[in-house]
Amino acid sequence: METIKVQDVAVNDLPWRIEYHAERCTRCGSCVASCSFNAIEVVVQRQSMTVSEQNQPSPVRRQLALAIIKQKKDLAYMCRGCGMCERVCPNNAIRPVRNPDDRKALLSRDNGPIKRGGRTNLNAQRTLDSIIVGRISQMTDPALDSVRHTFDIRAPFGRVLSPRELPLTVSGDKLEMAHRTPPVRWIYPLIFSDMSIGALSTRAWEAVALATAYLNEKCNLPVRMSSGEGGMPVKLLESEYLKYFIIQIASGHFGWNRIIKAMPHMVTDPGGILIKIGQGAKPGDGGLLPEAKVAEHVQAIRGVPKATLSSPPNHQGLYSIEESVQKMHLSLNAAFGFRVPVAVKCAASATSVAVYHNLLRDPYKICGGFFIDGIQGGTGAAAEVSLDHTGHPVVSKIRDCYLSAVRQGLQGQIPLYGGGGIGLTGNAAADAFKMICLGANGVFCGKVLIQLLGCIGNEKGRCNACNTGKCPTGICTQDPRLVKRLDVDRGAQKIVDYVLAFDKELRKLMAPIGNSSLPVGRSDALVSTDKAVADKLGIQYVC
Amino acid sequence: MFHIDTMEGHQRMSTQDLLLKIEEAVTGGETDFEITGSGQHDIGGPLWHPEGKTLHFHVTNPGQRVGSMCLDNTEIVVDGPAPADVGWLNAGGKITVRGDAGDTAGHCSSGGKIYIGGRAGARTGSLMKHDPLYEEPEMWILKNVGSFSFEFMGGGRVVVCGWDSSQFASVLGERACVGMVGGLIYVRGEVPALPDDILCLDLEDEDRAFLAGGMGDFLDSVGKPELAAELSDWSEWKKLRPLTFAEKKPQPQPNLADFRMTGWVRGGIFSDVAMDDFAVVPTVNKGLYRLRVPSWDNGKYASPCEFNCPSGIPTQRRFDLLREGKEEEALQLVLQYTPFPGSVCGTLCPNPCMEGCTRGSIDEAIQIGALGAKSAQTKVEPPKEHTDKSIGIIGGGVAGLSAAWQLALRGHSVTVYDEGEKIGGKIEQVIPRSRIPHELLEKELQRIQDMGVKFVTGCHVDHEKFEKLRSAHNALIVATGGTKSRFFPWEGLENLTMGLDFLKKVNAGEHPKVGRHVVVIGAGNSGMDVASDAYEMGAEKVTLVDVQRPAAFQKEIHRILDLGGSIVWPFVTSKITPEGIYAKDGRFIEADQVIVSIGEAPETQKFLPDDPKIKRFREDWLVPSEEKMIMPGVFAAGDVVKPGRLTDAIGDGLRTAHCVDRFVRGEAITPVVEKKVIPMERLSRAYFEKCHHCDLPENPEEDHNRCVSCGTCRDCRMCLNSCPEKAITRNALPDGTWEYVSDPDKCIGCGICAGVCPCGIWGLVDNPEPIPMYRTYGREEMRKCRAQ
């Protein structure tokens, strides 16, 4: 007789159920040993029965007690669906199965709002998938050959002046610059974005950094990596590779002490500075690093004790956009002698166009890029209510910003970068291409990178445990036992391979529309099978 | 000779008209054509003479695709230049252009010969092929070709003589041979950068023979025989050919591991703050990298019986000893905890141990009380060593005797002083003999005396006596219990009989007189005792009243109900008269005697000094410190502190004795450490099948088969046999006990041991061993690093 009460948490209340076949199980224990969430355990199960094997009722009692693997009925130890058990099981005896009747959202607010990592699980619908590259050069004009033609796949990072504003003077038979113009770097239109030291393990961060350097050094792809808001490794700051990295400053200003201290020892300028105002996954919310991940090195780099680190939702001391431009942009331009472009990243918002206008009107021409981060961006930790219910899709926002600049004849002056869900369905090149055709100069992506490293999370509720410090793949944790599961070289290799294929695929899309340089704003190349999307973006509706 | 001039005045003949005329003429047997063209396309093919004769074309000013799809036995000479696609899809004809050719000359040709007497445009020779059934195609070009030539070329030979081309950076333009997979290109002059899979080689004999063999005819055909010598310095020539499929090596793959080791920041970018060798550990590990490790927690937790017993008797250990066949040890074990296993555990105690028994959640609790009775006769050897400490205990009830027993076991001299004629407190004086055989009590009291405890009975302790005792002993324990019946100031108190006096008189054999109808106020256990004695003394009808649900044990209630008693509740007494008792709500129960039994209170003011430092609760009960002390060297135990069951008094005596022992030894007094009860989920009850009530063993000692042995290893070896890594060994210890040990070098931390352990001995905990990976990085190290 069992004594279960109706309000006890049951396995069927949890988002994932463990499907276990005792008859296949060898009791090798690997599944339990590998589960970082401690979600399964060994228990003894009893099978008792009274059987009769004679020609007349002859009751014989049989009892069998056997060890089985069982899922814990506990929200604190709930299965996250990561599937490590399935990976290690030699006999296909165990695997997590999504539970459609899950009541977790109702039951797990005992300690306040639900927190998790990942990205929105409610708003994962994909505008970009209803858009097709539908205008193919055929008999009207020549398509290019993606393999044999030379393509100019570079995007500006920095404030681009209009030709009229160039300080050109004629000196004899030569043109000369009367004074310096804002710094502009021509980079690959794919930026590795903003995952902090702390949110990522040392190994995961290093793998992304290693891939960045490799792509620059060996593949001639000037990909840039943004540091995220947790500072930079001092050894990287003082290395020649610094030029491939964009140093981020967010409201917490974490890690800037070591960055400034490293300045006299820098052998090159950084690739850029990115002021993070907001983040697509949790707009209006500051960064969040749970205590479980604030290991000694994170404490050291950030200059804080072991505690849950919340960045303020806005930069302290900035009360207006004008002040933001003056204080942050000017100061960070000044920090590197006005040689390094400074860009700003905001969460996509109903107000993005107004912000972009303000930046475009800035008479000092000091903003070198506007990064718009959509609702499908990722995060290491956030309140679920923010992840699922706040934010703004990035696609139409990029389009709105671009078109409003076009109307003023200012397009291209502050490069637009779009992110948040780039590569969500696997093909970042297609996403990037479409974003560029709609007006972006380039895109930034983060989650696809960690997925390449081995992250098994997705926007259908799988894993999303980046905030727990128990990342089974060693990516979003600082626990050495888990961190050391991650192979830096293999992870970096995967990113490099992906970007090399991205580059080829981007050409595959540029060639048929006949563009040998990035088709920024060439929305004529796109059609949509969704009338509303087509109307909103001003592209052809097709069916 | 068939001559066509395609212009008549300003009228130009269309391509279609020209080609139909030529075809008509060929069908008619014509073989020689002189065509003055005006840009007509596709002159020369595909045509064949009905008798297979060779067709000769002499063309000026052709349009695109002269000689396209040309068959063998067709010879075309273009006087002057020709636009794009000369010899497109040429399948066998000999096509000579004496001037320049446009773009894509020879495009897709797979037979015949094409001679160009000047330059050829972009994409010349692209997609040329060689059908092995026929001769391979040739294309000879006197000067140079444009960019993107020979793309995707699959066969045939092309000769680019590079004459009059020194003004070009390359005689092949740019990006030649992209995607070329077959064929040969002979080239004289500057060669551009070529794709990685194209070889640029010196000529070999066969090449020289080919060139020498064809050069004369080519130069003659294009009208430059004088160049033969100039173009025949073979040292100026190169041969281009693609790697064969077999020769092609796979593209070197990015190798990030190499890059990290050789190109990357030495030691890694985090080497200042993270010590990492970049070695990758598998998902399942042994030793240090296990996520969790087993922990052998034998005896760490109390079993429920142990936990629920105020004296903490670890009954599971008794059954483990019985299972091992150590009956005597099992029966003796309980005497480490109580001197009254027979009188209390086996007789008077409601056995809270059994209420919490794990087995009770399977079928029925283990028969613990009955097992206690088995120890009633068990002898215990007195301690071999004695201390010089003497302890006096005031009060010879169970609390005092429990403390006396414990202290005697520890070798101290103990004297118990009691006011009564007989030692034993309430068991002796109050509890009806019907509930406990007197001989059993006497035997257990004798065992206490046998242990060396001195009993001093009839000893009235007043203030003076107290001080004497205090100076006579190293420590005193006050365990005088509750000695006066409690009551409320009801109307008619003069009609009330005190329960405690009544019970004492009965047990003393004084046969107190009782009424016919007796009402007992208070339906607790002592109320039941009063009722029972009242019947014993001749009452006809006993009614118990209480303000709340009767607190007595069910067993006791039933005993009284069986005797004909009744219980009325809630009943709030207001008045007692010689006729009976009134409730506040006006109810009246007829009675000629009303006895109160709602508990007793201590009367310590009679002997304790009037010291405000002695803390009390409601003026009656003593409140000792955590060390069980009420004043220096004076301790308290039992009902004098808090009214409770007999078992509570025994437990309190035990804990007080522990403190007294430390005190007289001059050690710091630390209270007895209470173990936590074992969490139910650590136990594997699934091993135990429900037992039918009829199958319970008559002898409680045989219940060891049913005992789960919660929290204490039963040595079943399930862990040893279940461990998938064979990491567990069993070590026999010198004292006859054992331990199981898990070898960290074998264990993967799967917790199968914890899962299969019936007793909850093995736990699975997060691996506590730290891995030193991160650091802050000292200034000195940073300085050194920068200096490097």
Q: How many CB pairs under 8 A join A and B?
A: 195
Q: Which residues of B touch A42 (CB under 8 A)?
A: 750-752, 754-756
Q: Which residues of A touch B786 (CB under 8 A)?
A: 238, 265
Q: What is the average pLDDT value for chain B, to the nearest integer?
A: 94
Q: Which B positions 271-300 lie with beta carbon below 8 A of chain A?
A: 271-274, 276, 278-285, 289-292
Q: Kindly report the CA angle at B662 between B656 and B668, in degrees rounded to 5? A: 115
Residue B788, pLDDT score: 65
| Cβ <8 Å between A295 and B257 | no
Residue A317, pLDDT score: 67
Distance from CA of B327 to the nearest CA of A (A): 29
Helical packing angle, A395-408 and A352-361, nearest 10°: 40
What CATH number matches the domain at A11-112, 3.40.50.720, 3.30.930.10, 3.30.70.20, 3.90.550.10? Answer: 3.30.70.20
Helical packing angle, A488-510 and A202-217, nearest 10°: 50
Provide the 3-class DSSP secondary structure of residue B429.
helix
Q: Kindly report the CA angle at A81 between A77 and A84, in degrees rounded to 5? A: 95
Q: Which residues of B touch A214 (CB under 8 A)?
A: 254, 256, 259, 263
Q: What is the average pLDDT value for chain A, to the nearest integer?
A: 93
Do B184 and B158 contact (CB within 8 A), yes or no?
Answer: yes
Q: Is B328 exposed, middle or buried (0-12, 13-18, 19+ CB in 10 A)?
A: exposed
Residue ranges, chain B, pLDDT below 70 = 778, 788
Q: Kindly identify which residue of chain B lies nearest to residue A33, measuring between CA atoms.
A: B750
Q: For chain B, what are the domain ranges?
A: 100-253, 484-601
Do B640 and B622 contact (CB within 8 A), yes or no?
Answer: yes
Q: Which residues of B touch A481 (CB under 8 A)?
A: 281, 285, 289-291, 767, 771
Q: Is B395 exposed, middle or buried (0-12, 13-18, 19+ CB in 10 A)?
A: buried
Tokens, residue B15: 């391509």
CATH homologous superfamily of domain B484-601?
Answer: FAD/NAD(P)-binding domain (3.50.50.60)
Residue B672, pLDDT score: 79
Cα distances from B411 to residues B336, B391, B516, in angstroms, run: 13, 11, 53
Q: Kindly report the CA angle at B442 between B437 and B446, in degrees rounded to 5? A: 155
Q: Which residues of A touch B151 (CB under 8 A)?
A: 148
Q: Which of B478, B466, B461 is nearest to B419 (CA)?
A: B461
Provide the 3-class DSSP secondary structure of residue B287.
helix
Q: Which B positions 134-163 lie with beta carbon below 8 A of chain A?
A: 148, 151
Residue A285, pLDDT score: 85
d(CA B696, CA B368): 13
Residue B781, pLDDT score: 74
Q: Is A346 annotated as a binding residue?
A: no
- Whose tokens are 């990072």? That residue is A157
Strands (DSSP E) contained in B215-289 are 237-242
Tell me the sheet residues that pair with B413: B390
Contact residues for B753 (Cβ-Cβ < 8 A; gap 6+)? B294, B719, B722, B723, B728, B740, B742, B762
pLDDT digits (tens, 9 = 90+) for B34-88: 999 999 999 997 999 999 999 999 999 999 999 999 999 999 999 999 999 999 9
pLDDT of A313 higher than 90: no
Residue B776, pLDDT score: 87
Strands (DSSP E) contained in A339-377 are 342-347, 370-373
d(CA A491, CA A200): 13
The closest CB to that of B775, out of A30, A44, A296, belongs to A296
Q: Which of B412, B350, B403, B419 is nearest to B645 (CA)?
A: B350
| Average pLDDT of the segment spanning A233-238 | 95
Provide the 3-class DSSP secondary structure of residue B452.
coil
pLDDT digits (tens, 9 = 90+) for B488-521: 999 999 999 999 999 999 998 899 989 899 999 9
Q: Which B positions 668-727 lie with beta carbon below 8 A of chain A?
A: 684, 686-687, 689-690, 722, 724-725
| Average pLDDT of the segment spanning A295-315 | 89
pLDDT of A63 higher than 70: yes
d(CA B59, CA B95): 11
Q: Is A79 annotated as a binding residue?
A: yes
pLDDT of A496 higher than 90: yes
The closest CB to that of A496, out of B254, B268, B773, belongs to B254
The closest CB to that of B290, out of A3, A33, A48, belongs to A33
pLDDT band, very low/low/confident/very high, at A325 (cuts 50, 70, 90): low
Residue with more model confidence, A285 or B615? B615
User: Where in chain A do CATH 3.30.70.20 domains reside?
Assistant: 11-112
User: Where in chain A do CATH 3.20.20.70 domains reside?
Assistant: 154-162+188-512
Question: Which residue of A34, A63, A201, A267 is the best one to mutate when testing the B interface, meaning the one whose CB has the most B CBs within 10 A?
Answer: A34
Residue A1, pLDDT score: 61
Residue B277 CB neighbour total at 10 angstroms = 8
Fold of B100-253: Pectate Lyase C-like (2.160.20)
Q: Which of B73, B38, B87 is nearest to B59 (CA)?
A: B38
Q: Is A25 annotated as a binding residue?
A: yes
d(CA B54, CA B47): 10
**Architecture of the domain spanning A154-162+188-512:** Alpha-Beta Barrel (3.20)
Q: Which of B381, B382, B378 is nearest to B328 (CA)?
A: B378
pLDDT digits (tens, 9 = 90+) for A87-117: 999 999 999 999 999 999 999 898 899 999 9
| Cβ <8 Å between A88 and B283 | yes
pLDDT of A144 higher than 80: yes
| Cβ <8 Å between B270 and A34 | no
d(CA B170, CA B346): 113
- Is any Cβ of chain A less than 8 angstroms from the Cβ of B779? no
d(CA B231, CA B220): 13
- Is any Cβ of chain A less than 8 angstroms from the Cβ of B754? yes
**H helix intervals, A409-487:** 428-438, 447-453, 480-483
d(CA A349, CA A353): 8
